[in-house]
Amino acid sequence: MATATASVPQIRRRSPRIPLTYVVTLVPVAAALNIVGGYINSILHLPIFLDMIGTAVVAIVLGPWWGALVGVITNTVSAFLTGPIALPFAACNVVGALVWGYGVRNLHMGKTFIRYFILNLLVGLFVTLTAVPIYVFVFGGATGHFSDMMTAAFLAMGQNLIVSVFSSNILVSVADKLIAGFVALAIIEALPANLTFNLELIKAQKMRVILFAVIGVVIGIAVMLVAVALTKPA
Amino acid sequence: MEQTKTMAPADTEVKEGLTVGPKEGLGAGIIGLGFLALIMPWASGQIATLDFIKSDAFAILTGAIYVIGILVMISGIVVILQKPESET
C-alpha cells in the first residue's frame, strides 16, 4: 500500500487558484473604481487620468488578463457615460494591466521599492507607446484632455505631431501610473490575506514620499523634453 | 468525520471546482478584446461625428482594429506559451 502511494505522482500547483466569488466581486468593483476616477478627472480637468487604479489592483492580485478584462470593461462603460473617445484607449488600459500583472507576478518587480517604482515607470512608457498611435492616427493629436495644451506647446516649439504627442503623453502618463501603482498598493494591503499571500509585494509607502518622487521624475522628464524641443535640428 | 465538517471555505470551493486560474483569466481577457472589436464599428462612427476629429470613420476603425489585433496576437502567443496549471 505504501509502495502504491509513493508511486503516485505528486500534483504541484504552479499558481494557486482563486475562488470565483473573489473574481466576480473584484473585477466589477475595480472597473467602477476606474470609472469614478476617470469621471472625477474629467470634471476637475486634472493633468492626469486616474482611470487605471482598479486595473493595477486586479492585474497584480488576480492576474494580468483579469486586469485586461477590467480595462476593457472600464473603457466600454466610460464610452457610454462620457462619449466614445474612451473606447480606443481601452488598448492602453489592457497594456497597462499586462505590464503590471506580468511585472509583479512573473518578473518579481514588486519585491523592492526601487523595482516597483521602475515597474510603474515602465507601465507609463508602454501605455504612452500604445496611446501615441491612437492619439495621432485615430484622433489627429487631440482629445480634449489637459495634455493637449502641452502638445500644442511642443508643436509651437517646432516639433512634429508624433514627437509632441509623445512628449506630452509621457509626462502625464508617468505621473498617473506612479500614483495609480502606489494607490493600488495601499488597496491591495486592505484586501483579504488569502488573496495576496502568494504575492511578492512591498508594503505601501507614505504618499508624501511617492509624491516627491513623482514630482521629481516629471520635472526631470519635462526639462529633458523642453531641452530636446528647443534644440534646433542641424 | 468532525475534521471534514470543519474544513475551511476556500478548501471546499477548490474541491467543488468553483475556482479560476490564469487560463480562465486569459480567456476572459480575449473575450474582452473580442467585445472591443465588436463595438468598434459603432464607436468609430460616433467618434467621426465629433467636431474636433479630422479623421473619417474608416480611418478610426482601421487604427483601432490594428491596436486590438496586436493585443489579440499577444494573447495568442500567451496561449501557446501557457504551461499546464498542475505539473506532475
Report chain B residues whose CB lies below 8 A from the CB of A102.
Answer: none
The 10s digit of each residue's pLDDT in B39-85 is: 999 999 988 888 877 778 888 888 888 889 999 999 999 889 887 66
Task: Report pTM.
Answer: 0.81
C-alpha cell at A213: 518622487
Residue of A nearest to B53 (CA): A139
Residue A63, H or E segment: none
The 10s digit of each residue's pLDDT in A160-218 is: 888 889 988 998 999 899 999 999 998 998 888 888 888 888 877 666 777 777 788 77
Q: Is residue B17 part of a domain?
A: no
Q: Is residue B24 part of a domain?
A: no
Domains of chain A, by residue range, sit at 18-230
The 10s digit of each residue's pLDDT in A125-167 is: 999 999 998 888 888 777 777 788 888 888 888 888 888 899 8
Q: Is residue B58 part of a domain?
A: yes
For residue B86, list its beta bridge partners: A13
How many independent structural domains does chain B possess?
A: 1
Residue of B nearest to A130 (CA): B67
Q: Which residues contact B78 (CB under 8 A, 6 or more apart)?
A: A65, B26
ipTM for the complex shown:
0.73
For residue B19, list its beta bridge partners: A19
For residue A12, list its beta bridge partners: B87
Fold of A18-230: Arp2/3 complex 21 kDa subunit ARPC3 (1.10.1760)
User: Where in the sequence is the domain holding B57, given as residue range(s)?
Assistant: 41-88
Strands B86-87 and A12-13: antiparallel
**Which position has the higher pLDDT, A41 or B15?**
A41
In this complex, do A140 and B55 lie within 8 Å of one another by their Cβ atoms? yes
- CA A173, CA A50: separation in Å to the nearest integer? 10
Phi-psi region for residue A108, left (φ > 0), alpha (ψ -120 to 50) or beta?
left
Residue to mutate among A25, A70, A138, A151, with most B CBs inside 10 A, is A138
Chain B contact present for A79, CB below 8 A: yes
Q: Which residues contact A28 (CB under 8 A, 6 or more apart)?
A: A73
